[in-house]
Amino acid sequence: MKQSRGWTAGLLILFVALIAGAEEPVPQWRQKFDEVYRLEENEILKRIEPPFIPERMDYYQTTDRSQAQAIPKGPDYYCFHWNGSLHTWGMGFVGEGGLTLSGVIQSVLDIQPYEFEGPGKLLSTTLKGDWIIKPDALPEEKLEALAAIYQKATNRQIEFQLEKVQRDVIVASGDWTFDTKEGRGQVILFADKGDNKTGGGGGSGSMSEFFQRLGSLMNLQVIDETTTKAPQNFQWRTCHSSYVTREKDPEKRARQTVKLLEVASRQTGVKFQRTQREVEVWMVREKQK
């Protein structure tokens, strides 16, 4: 009898272990979502056009419940990264229904605004939809894929050519010291002394990533010629006034640029000087038929 109870108890323990280790079945909505939101082996970039499948709303409500409660209608666009599986990179509520061509180059392809130029009318073309990209692809591969998507969407052809041009840049020099007193462990960026609202976002990463972000705020490339580098990753916050490119008045924008660089220099120890250099820029043009 004891053997029988022991045998039964053993089976019960085994059954409980199997149940505990079993994976939950994938919901039907997620299966349908994953069929659409994926990249094939040779794909680099994919645009999923509206109208979106109903399962997109299931994804939104499941993966970001607090955001879904705040904005029930869902984002105007998603940006996903793909490395064999799907990862949410960002979403936007732009009000116009989607990203512009310029927005796709920046937010999806991760090419900075100072790294490309083109006619305003062309760059403002709206491309509604969600985006999936292989983030580690080369810039030229990403741009080639975008050109194909643009042609399909508009029946017009564009091209991206890398050219060397003289442009205003910011040269960073000296030693990185990172005085954390002002930012309490973070670099706090602002261009107005009275601006202490860090609702403009932020980030973390290496010194080169910080310089990239700083350059995007001014639409000026930061060239790293520092002697002493940052020893590790750190965090930064962007106040509303740090978005210098939003200022339309050229004189005021120039003053804000100076102020922003002074603030960054005071906290990091790095010297920033505006000058001209020959740099490579992607020229965006519409092909003539």
Q: Is there a single domain that holds both residue 139 and residue 169?
A: no
- How open is the CA angle 192-195-198, to the nearest 5 degrees? 125
The predicted pLDDT at position 232 comes to 86
Interatomic CA distance for residues 64 and 74, integer angstroms: 10
Q: Is there a single domain that holds both residue 97 and residue 142?
A: yes
Domain that holds residue 271: 164-281
Q: Is there a single domain that holds both residue 176 and residue 253?
A: yes
Nearest to 225 by CA among 245, 207, 239, 242: 207
Nearest to 150 by CA among 36, 286, 44: 286
Contact between 162 and 282 under an 8 Å Cβ cutoff? The reply is yes
Fill in the amino acid letter for 132.
Answer: I
109, 135, 156 - which closes a domain: 156
Interatomic CA distance for residues 127 and 154, integer angstroms: 9
Would 7 be classed as within a structural domain? no
Would 118 be classed as within a structural domain? yes
The predicted pLDDT at position 60 comes to 98
The predicted pLDDT at position 193 comes to 75
The predicted pLDDT at position 3 comes to 46
Would 1 be classed as within a structural domain? no
Nearest to 143 by CA among 177, 110, 184: 110
The predicted pLDDT at position 1 comes to 42
Interatomic CA distance for residues 67 and 281, integer angstroms: 37
Would 6 be classed as within a structural domain? no
pLDDT in tens, the chain (289 residues): 444 455 455 545 545 544 455 567 899 999 999 999 999 999 999 999 999 999 999 999 999 999 999 999 999 999 999 999 999 999 999 876 789 999 999 999 999 999 999 999 999 999 999 999 999 999 999 999 999 999 999 999 999 999 999 999 999 999 999 865 555 678 999 998 766 665 567 889 999 999 999 999 999 999 999 999 998 888 999 998 999 999 999 999 999 999 999 999 999 999 999 999 999 999 999 987 6
Q: Is there a single domain that holds both residue 174 and residue 255?
A: yes
Kindly list the distances between the CA atom of residue 273 and the CA atoms of 56, 65, 93, 114, 172, in Å, as whole numbers in the listed order: 47, 45, 36, 17, 7
The predicted pLDDT at position 277 comes to 97
The predicted pLDDT at position 97 comes to 73
